[in-house]
Structures are given as C-alpha cells and as structure tokens.
C-alpha cells in the first residue's frame, strides 16, 4: 500500500505524517472492560482483533469476542484521523468512523457519503483464549426492527469431554439504516501476525452473516450482551442519544488531554497526550472492581505489579484518587502474607516484588496528596508485611524469591535478585522515615545495603543475582528504586559498562547481555524465548532514561534522547497508534507483545514529567 496521511487532532491542535500502512492498528475501550482492536487498513491480521464484550460477574469477568471485522468494499484509504474520542478513515470523499461510547457495550460504525457500496460483517464469537473450532452455532433473524445475531456455544466430542451441551449464549443486536441481504457463509482467515508470533492457530473459519448496502449517510449500532432485552434497550438508547454521547465523550477527552507541561516538540507533545489517553482507556470499573488493565489484548486483568508500578502516572495526570484507591485496595487485602497474588481476579502465581513496589508508590502518594489520616492504618499493615517477609524469605540479610515470582516470569530466576534487594532496602528506608526514633529499620537497611554492595557490586557493574554474574536491564530498576546503593562515581562506572553490553542503537535496552549465547536479537513471539533474553521492554527503556537523566544528564544525553525518540515513534506511528507497546526486538525497533501495555505508557508519562518539569 502507498503512503497515506495519519493525523492526530485534539483541542484544535494537529499533527500529521505520511506513513506506510502495514501492521498499525487502533484500540478504543468503553471503560467497563470491553474494547475494540482493529487494523488501520481494515485487514484482520490476528485472531485477537475485533470487538470484545466484557461479561462481568460479581468478582470476576471474561472477554468474549463478537465482531471480527467490518469491511467496506470501496475506494482505497487515503487518510486516518485519530480524534481520540473516535477514529475516522477517509476514502476520497467517503468517511468511515468508529466510536465506542464509554459505559456501553456498543460499537458505532458510520459511513458518510457512500452510496451503493458493500459493508461486510464477519463474526468470530469466542472467549478471548478459546480457539476451539467446533460447536459454534449462529442464528440470524429480525426482531422488533433489529437484526439479531444469536450465538450459541456447545461442546463437541472432537474437542471436549461431552457433546452438544450448551456453554453460553451471546446476542449481538444490530441497529442500522442500511439495506441488507443474508450471506450465511464461512470464510477461512489467515492471521499473519499470529504466524509471526508463532501463536497457533494461524487460520480460522469466521462467520459472515450479512452484506449491507450503503445509502449516502449510514450507521451501524452494534450492541452485544448475554441478555437480548438489555442489548435492544441499550441500542435504542444509543441511537436516540448518539449526538450527545459523542459530544460528551469529546469534551471528556478534551479535558483529559490538557497539560501544563511546556513541550515544544510536536511529536513528543502528541505522544504525551496519547499516553494520557492510553492509560485512561485502561482504567476500568467492572461492576465494583476498579483497576487498570495490564494490557490489551492479552492482559485484561488487574496485574498487581503492573498496576502498582503505574499509579505514579495517575498522580501526574490528576487522577490521584484513582491511584489512592488502587494502592489502598492492595494494602487492605494483603493480610498475613509475604507476597501479593500476581493478578486479580484468578491469580495463578505469587509476585515477590509487588509489595516493595506498593511501599514505593505509597511513598510517592505522600508527595502528591495528604494521606496523614491514613498513615496509622498503612503503617500497621506495612509493619506486618515486613515482619512476614523477614520471617519467611530472609537468608541472612538478603531476601529471596521463588521461581517465576519476579517480573521476568518467563525464566525461573529464583534466588537472591538485585531488584528484590533494592525494594527491600527502600522498604526499610520508608519505615525509617515514618519511625525516626526506631533504630531497627535503620540497622536493617544498613546491613542489607552493606551486604548487597559487597556481593552484587564487582567494581565494574551490578550483578543480576547473588550467584549470577549476568548483566541485565534490572540494574536500571535498582537505581530507580534505591539510588543510595552506590555512590555516584560507582553508578557511572556501572552504567557505562552495562550500556556497552545492553544498548541497542535504535534507542532501546536489551533484557540480556548481547554477547551471551542465549541472547535473542529478534522477538520470537509466544514461545517466550526472547522475552527476557533479548527483547527490549519499553517500560524499562523509559526507566533507564529517567535514571540516566537523574544520574548525569549531560553525559548520557544521547542515550536519553534516543530512548525518548524510540518511545515517541512507537506510540505515534507503530503498533497501535496512541498506545505504547510492550516490547521490541533488540536488533531493530518494532512493536510486539501487547500493543497497549500499561506500564510502558505509565513510565513514558513519568519520563516526560522528569524531562519537562514535575507538575503535581
């Protein structure tokens, strides 16, 4: 495809650039768990793309895909305009728009100035990670002036232990002014992104129930629910109030995307606004559960580590109350443990470092807002946590973690790790500030600091583990958390030597020493071989830029600028536009993993505030 114009518009400000549409996509959420994830050029490249309905229960939820794609058979795309509250796709004089109203499970698709052209709907109703092919039944009919796509999932003995037992139903209600005809056909789709990620299956048959015919100004209001009456009522409400809903959402976005930061560079400015939009779109209230999705499409839960780390970004963008609620929720639900579950709901592993990050972000919260009245409660909980950590995880002065408990959870990494010691040191330091007359925390801090300095610092760099001499990107995290571990000159020596081993000249930090045999320079996808053995993580790249800026802005100026530029490029022009990706290959910059990754965008927000002035 030839180059097209990509534009960003907010508050009468615009940014435009010619890009070659290939793998870029866009993502919108409804703030109650559901989301839309489609390619900019309208071609489906992953089985994870589509419109996902969030079916909520009292304490949990699940994502169910409904619409696979909406395809307009018309002229070539000439322009994409991201207005943040909706996205427009131009085809000469024809305009398509995609709008996801907040707090509704509805997708609104409109086509302006199109006559007598085909709009093809395709469906692939399935739970997010369910790749079964059999037992999928669709029924298409009209009711009360609506088109209804009724889906029933049944078991099948070729894939299940039983046969013909109903698992669930889902209704998609279509409200439209277009004429239509039934197709009732199945088509095999090849998913090139999934093949690239080594994520099977690479092909799947999707259902095409309808072909609609445009007639100048056209709309499709598509509402999904497990309750047909509820879906029809919502569809009526959306149609009746569509203009005011758009206006309300536009005003919400315009107010959200205001900043006091003075950023002259237009691309950096729009990347920052995009990051505010990105993190806000991941904040979900699912029934009474307030939290932040860790990433779309795969991490649609509230992951403790990711969520806690990202709360400082909320403080920067005037969402201090949300940050406080999230942090206090973890404080209130720790109990008598030395760890946090890795996610909610349905935890599968323990997270050894989330408690340390909880201390760290509560300390940040004290700098942004007054929590004096809550300190007694927090203090009691944190003292109990420290007691349990020391009792259950201490080996001498050091703190151990079990396998798969650190953020590098694709590798075992059990033992005594640098970032765990840094977090423990910060916890002691924080408690020392709260209890200046209690010398026990100061003694604990001094002893662990001495031992960590002696055993991890070899005069050239900080080792990744007590018995692991590997150079990894965790050294940047160690400085970010506890810069007092080494003196300035030692830190300078450490980062000079580490950057020789970890630096990617496009502007990223490798997750592993590039000279080691297990290093993977290209993203290997779902098998995870490169994940923590080479891939460059945008959130840690942003942390590295923050750290280098704090340590010696002048010496590391080129590194800081290249990291900043790479993050801006990822946010604006690669992956999902206005969203920050999870990882890139080390060899060359690309957008991989989750295309909307919470802590990537949160740390970019921190980086921008670090570089352009801390506004509290």
Angle 418-434/354-368 helices, nearest 10 degrees?
A: 40
Q: Is the peptide bond before 346 cis (omega within 30 degrees of 0)?
A: no
Report which of residues 468 and 348 the model is more confident about. Answer: 468
**pLDDT at 616 > cutoff 50:** no
How buried is residue 123: exposed, middle or buried, by Cβ count under 10 Å (0-12/13-18/19+)? buried
Query: Each residue of 363-407: pLDDT tens digit?
Result: 999 999 988 888 888 888 889 999 999 999 999 999 999 999 999
Q: What are the residues whose beta carbons fall under 8 Å from the beta carbon of 248, sequence distance 6 or more?
A: none
**pLDDT at 220 > cutoff 50:** yes
Closest CA to 264 of 616, 614, 612: 612
Query: Each residue of 533-566: pLDDT tens digit?
Result: 999 999 999 999 999 999 999 999 999 999 999 9
What does each C-alpha distance from 150 to 125, 135, 142, 261, 284 come to in angstroms?
10, 14, 11, 49, 27
**Predicted pLDDT at 2:** 67
Backbone angles phi, psi at 247, to 5 degrees: -65, -45
Quickly state the pLDDT bin for 125 (edges 50, 70, 90): very high
**Predicted pLDDT at 373:** 84
Report which of residues 303 and 615 the model is more confident about. Answer: 303
Beta pairing class for 79-82 and 3-10: parallel
Quote the tokens at residue 544: 């590295």
Share of the chain above pLDDT 90, in %: 92
d(CA 119, CA 522): 38
DSSP label at residue 191:
-
* pTM for this entry: 0.97
Query: Each residue of 59-105: pLDDT tens digit?
Result: 899 999 999 999 999 999 999 999 999 999 999 999 999 999 999 99
Quickly state the pLDDT bin for 337 (edges 50, 70, 90): confident
**Predicted pLDDT at 476:** 98
**pLDDT at 615 > cutoff 60:** no
Mean pLDDT of all residues in 317-344: 89
DSSP 3-state helix, strand, coil percentages of the chain (rounded to 5)? Answer: 35, 30, 35
**pLDDT at 111 > cutoff 50:** yes
| Alpha-carbon dihedral 45, 48, 49, 52, rounded to 10 degrees | 170
**pLDDT at 614 > cutoff 70:** no
CB-based contact 311:326 (threshold 8 Å): yes
d(CA 411, CA 110): 46
**pLDDT at 214 > cutoff 80:** yes
16: helix, coil or strand? Answer: strand
CB-based contact 89:76 (threshold 8 Å): no
Q: What is the largest CA-CA distance in the chain?
A: 80
Quickly state the pLDDT bin for 599 (edges 50, 70, 90): very high
CA 53-57-58 angle, to 5 degrees, is: 145
Q: What are the residues whose beta carbons fall under 8 Å from the beta carbon of 520, sequence distance 6 or more?
A: 529, 530, 533, 534, 535, 586
CB-based contact 525:198 (threshold 8 Å): yes
Q: Exposure pattern of 323-334 as b/e (b: 16+ CB <10 Å)?
A: bbebbbebbeeb
> Rg of the Cα trace of the chain?
25
**pLDDT at 1 > cutoff 70:** no
**Predicted pLDDT at 524:** 97
CB-based contact 604:581 (threshold 8 Å): no
**Predicted pLDDT at 336:** 66
**pLDDT at 475 > cutoff 60:** yes
Quickly state the pLDDT bin for 113 (edges 50, 70, 90): very high
d(CA 269, CA 488): 32
CA 463-468-470 angle, to 5 degrees, is: 60
Backbone angles phi, psi at 365, to 5 degrees: -60, -35
- Among 325-334, 342-351, 584-593, which stretch is predicted with the lowest mean pLDDT? 342-351
Q: How does DSSP assign 524-563, residue by residue?
A: -GGG-TTTTTTPEEHHHHHHHHHHHHHHHTTTTHHHHHHH
355: helix, coil or strand? Answer: helix
Quote the tokens at residue 516: 């080691």
Dihedral class, residue 215 (left if φ above 0, else alpha if ψ from -120 to 50, else beta) = beta
Query: Each residue of 140-160: pLDDT tens digit?
Result: 999 999 999 999 999 999 999
Q: How does DSSP assign 89-111, residue by residue?
A: EEETTEEEEEE--TTSSEEEEEE
What sign results for the dihedral spanned by CA atoms 507, 508, 512, 517?
negative
**Predicted pLDDT at 348:** 84
How buried is residue 388: exposed, middle or buried, by Cβ count under 10 Å (0-12/13-18/19+)? middle
Report which of residues 375 and 169 the model is more confident about. Answer: 169
Quickly state the pLDDT bin for 242 (edges 50, 70, 90): very high
80: helix, coil or strand? Answer: strand
**Predicted pLDDT at 59:** 87
Closest CA to 338 of 291, 307, 381: 381
Query: Each residue of 491-522: pLDDT tens digit?
Result: 999 999 999 999 999 999 999 999 999 999 99
């Amino acid at each position: 495809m030839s180059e097209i114009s990509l534009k960003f518009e907010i508050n009468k400000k615009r940014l435009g650039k010619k890009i070659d549409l290939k793998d870029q996509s866009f993502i919108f959420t409804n703030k109650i768990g559901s989301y839309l994830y489609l390619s900019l050029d309208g071609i489906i490249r992953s089985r994870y793309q589509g419109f996902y309905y969030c079916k909520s229960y009292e304490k949990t939820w699940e994502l169910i895909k409904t619409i696979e794609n909406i395809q307009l058979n018309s002229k070539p795309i000439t322009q994409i305009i991201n207005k943040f509250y909706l996205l427009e796709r131009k085809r000469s004089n024809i305009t398509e728009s995609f709008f996801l109203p907040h707090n509704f499970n509805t997708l609104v698709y409109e086509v302006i100035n199109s006559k007598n052209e085909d709009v093809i709907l395709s469906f692939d109703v399935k739970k997010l990670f369910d790749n079964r092919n059999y037992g999928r039944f669709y029924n298409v009919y009209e009711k009360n002036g609506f088109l209804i796509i009724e889906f029933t999932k049944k078991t099948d003995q070729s894939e299940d232990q039983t046969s013909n037992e109903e698992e669930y139903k889902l209704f998609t209600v279509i409200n439209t002014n277009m004429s239509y005809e039934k197709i009732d056909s199945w088509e095999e789709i090849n998913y090139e992104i999934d093949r690239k990620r080594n994520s099977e299956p690479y092909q799947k048959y999707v259902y095409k129930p309808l072909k609609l015919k445009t007639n100048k100004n056209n709309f499709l209001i598509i509402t999904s629910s497990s309750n047909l009456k509820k879906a029809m009522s919502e569809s009526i409400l959306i149609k009746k109030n569509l203009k005011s809903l758009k206006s309300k959402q536009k005003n919400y976005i315009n107010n959200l995307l205001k900043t006091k930061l003075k950023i002259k560079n237009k691309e950096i400015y729009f990347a920052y606004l995009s990051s505010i939009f990105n993190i806000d779109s991941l904040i979900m209230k699912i029934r009474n559960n307030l939290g932040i999705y860790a990433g779309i499409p795969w991490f649609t839960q509230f992951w403790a580590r990711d969520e806690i780390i990202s709360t400082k970004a909320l403080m920067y963008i005037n969402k201090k109350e949300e940050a406080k609620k999230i942090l206090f929720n973890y404080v209130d639900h720790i109990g008598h443990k030395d760890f946090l579950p890795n996610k909610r709901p349905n935890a599968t592993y323990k997270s050894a470092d989330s408690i340390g990050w909880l201390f760290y972000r509560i300390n940040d919260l004290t700098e942004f807002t007054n929590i004096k009245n809550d300190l007694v409660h927090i203090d009691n909980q944190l003292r109990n946590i420290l007691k349990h950590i020391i009792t259950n995880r201490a080996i001498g002065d050091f703190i151990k973690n079990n396998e798969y408990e650190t953020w590098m959870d694709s590798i075992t990494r059990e033992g005594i790790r640098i970032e765990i010691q840094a977090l423990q040191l910060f916890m002691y330091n924080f408690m020392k500030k709260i209890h200046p007359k209690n010398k026990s925390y100061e003694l604990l801090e001094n002893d662990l600091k001495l031992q960590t300095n002696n055993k991890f610092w070899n005069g050239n760099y900080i080792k990744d583990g007590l018995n692991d001499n590997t150079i990894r990107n965790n050294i940047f995290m160690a400085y970010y958390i506890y810069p007092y571990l080494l003196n300035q000159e030692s830190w300078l020596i450490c980062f000079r030597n580490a950057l020789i081993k970890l630096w990617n000249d496009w502007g990223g930090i490798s997750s592993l020493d590039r000279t080691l045999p297990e290093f993977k320079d290209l993203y290997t996808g779902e098998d995870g071989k490169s994940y923590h053995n080479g891939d460059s993580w945008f959130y840690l790249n942003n942390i590295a830029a923050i750290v280098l800026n704090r340590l010696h802005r002048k010496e590391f100026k080129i590194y800081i600028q290249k990291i900043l530029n790479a993050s801006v490029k990822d946010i604006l022009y690669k992956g999902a536009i206005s969203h920050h990706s999870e990882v890139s290959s080390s060899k060359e910059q690309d957008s991989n993993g989750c295309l909307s990754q919470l802590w990537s965008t949160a740390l970019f927000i921190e980086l921008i505030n670090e570089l352009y002035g801390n506004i509290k």
